[in-house]
Chains A and B, each alone.
Chain A
């Protein structure tokens, strides 16, 4: 038996023995996601047990080096772990922008002190991070950001405003793009800096969205003092870090949605629409929409798998995450349009217990942001046209 087959057998046995049955069911609400952080609370005992067992094995970040709190798994082992977790429907033990976005950027651009300081706390779910990128006048044109960091001895003094800062009101620290050289060209005067959200001068204000939820905030910086040692990478070269991190963010957003977990979409639709005498979804047009969706979804799962394997083989294009982000988010929007159509008038309730507080329409509305956040679909297509297809003048 090969080492990898051995690893698969051991992994499966360990997951069987350690993943509580409650943690193998599809998530149904926000509180099913554990985000960690200074003020974190577990929503259930199984959630705590599952998180702690995975943390102790380093499997909140299976592929990070062991010295930084990771599991030290090789890419092939990491794939096996993902497959085995997916096969039993195991939930992710820890959701974290630290894991998905900052971690990879620190591993590539951080100095040793920064890695030692921050990565283990991310892996252990001790610090919850948020992302300070967009500003009121810097959305798709992110590099035109205006938040300033003025030099003052060993510190910077930061002033400005960020927007669409996900969960800023719950976050402990922020990774933030600031302008350190206002005289340079717009991509050249930006630095990537880390600071504590408890610093004097930081305030947040949640934004109420069409879903009725407030996952995003406006974040204000009023003379916030941050040591210069908190800059990641070179001063004024923050755009490199920002772009690298965006690739990971896009890969993360492209995976939005509950691919292949739970009951097939067509059966969920049949629950509300009904079935005809031969047992088929009793709305031929909706059935064909679902089938077309399922074809594209299965194909997208294949390309996601292939993207990882290509990266492992050193054959991937760095801009391909933009292609994935575009397609994955448009697909997720389609899924929720189908769910709304299938639910009919039952999917229109906003507040009842019967509708779990309007979970379906709120989730549907939430997905509309998928093709905006982390770079709009139009920006993604522009990147593909320019960087992959090499089309002129893009």
Chain B
């Protein structure tokens, strides 16, 4: 398969870009932040997303979605990255929809997927517990009780956890922390007894929550996939999330870079455009090259997820690691080359820097994925 977007994918990109740049430029995020909006995103805009078919992009057609692939999901994420639009697309349309479509039984799929597709159901994935992404270290205890399980533990960085109508929670039903065996995914009603949700205001003005589970009862039919065997399902869903966030970082990097190059062509010092200085030209050229290489690596990962899902791990780790380092460089160079202006809140560049930092941590940072790749290659 050619490593370029198809005509249909380009059209999808254009329509996503049209909607997002029109309705949700960076000023949209800024005003949600400044007004301390309780939802943290626009429900009207999510409705518009649903009408365009974006919320059901990964939902199979027989459950009311459009059954598209991960490349298409990445195309939308990249456009989100350009304006930093806060939206449940990642949490609900990418992560939850994938988890349900890949791991759900017929009853679970019929119960939730059509609602995700039409935009009426918001969902969130609760994985991380410690400061760093270590899915195998999952320690939230899920002990058999009666017909189901009792959950005890706490989750952090649950993206959109404060507005979710449905939680997908990774718990430990067996094995010890660090082991893949013994992981199980649960569908949990956030209104269930014993669930305490604290919205966490984040550096990037996007939405996340810390969630505590105290003796939360989950029915046997709330198990997503198989008991003790959720590790593979979880890893697959995380890989999809990694590919998606890597795409967001490509869009973010390219936008910051574009704004920076524009500035180099406008700002004068010492009687010259600062873009005439070779010290800046070479750094700009290096960053351009970095972004192009990362874009290729991310598209490769998404295509591999679509074509050969079970062997996409290496390509995904390459993409997430590259996207993290590239975005980090792009935002740092962006602020530096904008000089003092780059340090002001009034200027948008800072929003990109903050979001890039969060994207780095989501589902494993560059170091995590470099180490994963080394393990896959046995060294």
Verify if A315 is at the interface (C-beta below 8 Å from B).
Answer: yes
Apart from A291-B373, A323-B292, list 10 A-B contacts with CB within 8 A: A264-B377, A266-B374, A267-B379, A292-B370, A294-B370, A295-B322, A299-B294, A306-B4, A382-B278, A394-B276
Query: Residues of A contacting B289 with CB < 8 Å?
Result: 323, 326-327, 384
Verify if A188 is at the interface (C-beta below 8 Å from B).
Answer: no
Contact yes or no, A381 B379, CB < 8 A = no
CA distance A213 to B247 in the complex (A): 46
Contact yes or no, B379 A299, CB < 8 A = no
CA distance A384 to B292 in the complex (A): 12
Question: Of A290, A320, A327, A382, which contacts B281 at CB under 8 A?
Answer: A382
Verify if A108 is at the interface (C-beta below 8 Å from B).
Answer: no
Contact yes or no, A290 B374, CB < 8 A = yes
Contact yes or no, A389 B285, CB < 8 A = yes
Contact yes or no, A389 B284, CB < 8 A = yes
Verify if A77 is at the interface (C-beta below 8 Å from B).
Answer: no
A288-B370 contact given A381-B281, A381-B282, CB 8 Å threshold: yes
- Contacts between the two chains (Cβ within 8 Å), count: 142
In the A-B complex, list the 3 residue pairs whose CB atoms are closest, starting with the nearest.
A266-B379, A299-B297, A385-B281
Closest Cβ of chain B: how far from A387's Cβ, in Å? 10
Contact yes or no, B299 A302, CB < 8 A = yes
Closest Cβ of chain A: how far from B303's Cβ, in Å? 10
Contact yes or no, A296 B322, CB < 8 A = yes
Stretch of A46-54, A142-150, A279-287 lying at the B interface: A279-287
Verify if A10 is at the interface (C-beta below 8 Å from B).
Answer: no
A295-B3 contact given A264-B379, A384-B288, CB 8 Å threshold: no
Size range of the chain A interface in the assembly: 35 or more
Size range of the chain B interface in the assembly: 35 or more
Contact yes or no, A306 B3, CB < 8 A = yes
Q: Quick one: which of B237-288 are within 8 Å of A by CB? A: 261, 264-265, 272-273, 275-276, 278, 281-282, 284-286, 288
CA distance A313 to B5 in the complex (A): 10
Question: Of B275, B293, B374, B375, which contacts A299 at CB under 8 A?
Answer: B293
Closest to B261 in A: A389
Contact yes or no, B272 A378, CB < 8 A = no
Interface of B is mostly: helix
Verify if A310 is at the interface (C-beta below 8 Å from B).
Answer: yes
Closest Cβ of chain A: how far from B258's Cβ, in Å? 10
How does the 8 Å CB contact mask read for B281-313 relative to A, with 1 for contact and 0 for none? 110111011001111110110000000000000
Contact yes or no, A384 B285, CB < 8 A = yes
Verify if A305 is at the interface (C-beta below 8 Å from B).
Answer: yes
Contact yes or no, B288 A323, CB < 8 A = yes
How does the 8 Å CB contact mask read for A288-325 relative to B, with 1 for contact and 0 for none? 10111011101110110110011011010000100100
Verify if B315 is at the interface (C-beta below 8 Å from A).
Answer: yes
Query: Residues of B contacting A231 with CB < 8 Å?
Result: none
Closest to A394 in B: B281
Query: Residues of A contacting B375 with CB < 8 Å?
Result: 280
Instruction: Write 7 A-B pairs (CB below 8 A) sorted by A numbering.
Output: A291-B371, A294-B318, A309-B3, A323-B292, A385-B281, A385-B284, A391-B264
Verify if A153 is at the interface (C-beta below 8 Å from B).
Answer: no
Verify if B346 is at the interface (C-beta below 8 Å from A).
Answer: no
Verify if A269 is at the interface (C-beta below 8 Å from B).
Answer: yes
Verify if B314 is at the interface (C-beta below 8 Å from A).
Answer: yes
Closest to A264 in B: B377
The residue in A294, A305, A382, A393 that gathers the most chain B C-beta atoms within 10 A of its C-beta is: A294
Verify if B378 is at the interface (C-beta below 8 Å from A).
Answer: yes
Contact yes or no, A391 B261, CB < 8 A = yes
How does the 8 Å CB contact mask read for B357-379 relative to A, with 1 for contact and 0 for none? 00000000011011101110111
Contact yes or no, A298 B264, CB < 8 A = no
How does the 8 Å CB contact mask read for A240-277 relative to B, with 1 for contact and 0 for none? 00000000000000000000000010110110000100
Contact yes or no, B377 A385, CB < 8 A = no
A378-B282 contact given A266-B378, A298-B314, A392-B275, CB 8 Å threshold: yes
Verify if B107 is at the interface (C-beta below 8 Å from A).
Answer: no
A391-B281 contact given A302-B299, A384-B289, CB 8 Å threshold: yes
Query: Residues of B contacting A184 with CB < 8 Å?
Result: none
CA distance A290 to B319 in the complex (A): 16
Contact yes or no, A266 B377, CB < 8 A = yes
Contact yes or no, B265 A392, CB < 8 A = yes
Query: Residues of A contacting B4 with CB < 8 Å?
Result: 306, 309-310, 313, 315
Verify if B2 is at the interface (C-beta below 8 Å from A).
Answer: yes
Contact yes or no, A299 B296, CB < 8 A = yes
Closest to A287 in B: B374
CA distance A382 to B275 in the complex (A): 12
Closest Cβ of chain A: how far from B304's Cβ, in Å? 10
Verify if B76 is at the interface (C-beta below 8 Å from A).
Answer: no
Contact yes or no, A290 B265, CB < 8 A = no
Verify if B164 is at the interface (C-beta below 8 Å from A).
Answer: no
Closest Cβ of chain A: how far from B68's Cβ, in Å? 21
Closest Cβ of chain A: how far from B307's Cβ, in Å? 14
Closest Cβ of chain B: how far from A374's Cβ, in Å? 16
Query: Residues of A contacting B295 with CB < 8 Å?
Result: 303, 306
Contact yes or no, B276 A392, CB < 8 A = yes
Verify if B321 is at the interface (C-beta below 8 Å from A).
Answer: yes
Closest Cβ of chain B: how far from A286's Cβ, in Å? 10
Query: Residues of A contacting B261 with CB < 8 Å?
Result: 389, 391
CA distance A391 to B374 in the complex (A): 39
Verify if A388 is at the interface (C-beta below 8 Å from B).
Answer: yes
Contact yes or no, B293 A327, CB < 8 A = yes
Contact yes or no, A303 B286, CB < 8 A = no
Closest Cβ of chain A: how far from B236's Cβ, in Å? 20
Closest Cβ of chain B: how far from A307's Cβ, in Å? 8
Query: Residues of A contacting B378 with CB < 8 Å?
Result: 264, 266-267, 279
Closest to B378 in A: A267
Contact yes or no, B373 A391, CB < 8 A = no
The residue in B2, B295, B317 that gathers the most chain A C-beta atoms within 10 A of its C-beta is: B2
Query: Residues of A contacting B297 with CB < 8 Å?
Result: 298-299, 302-303
A267-B315 contact given A296-B322, A382-B278, A385-B281, CB 8 Å threshold: no
Contact yes or no, A302 B293, CB < 8 A = yes
Closest to A282 in B: B379
CA distance A215 to B342 in the complex (A): 50
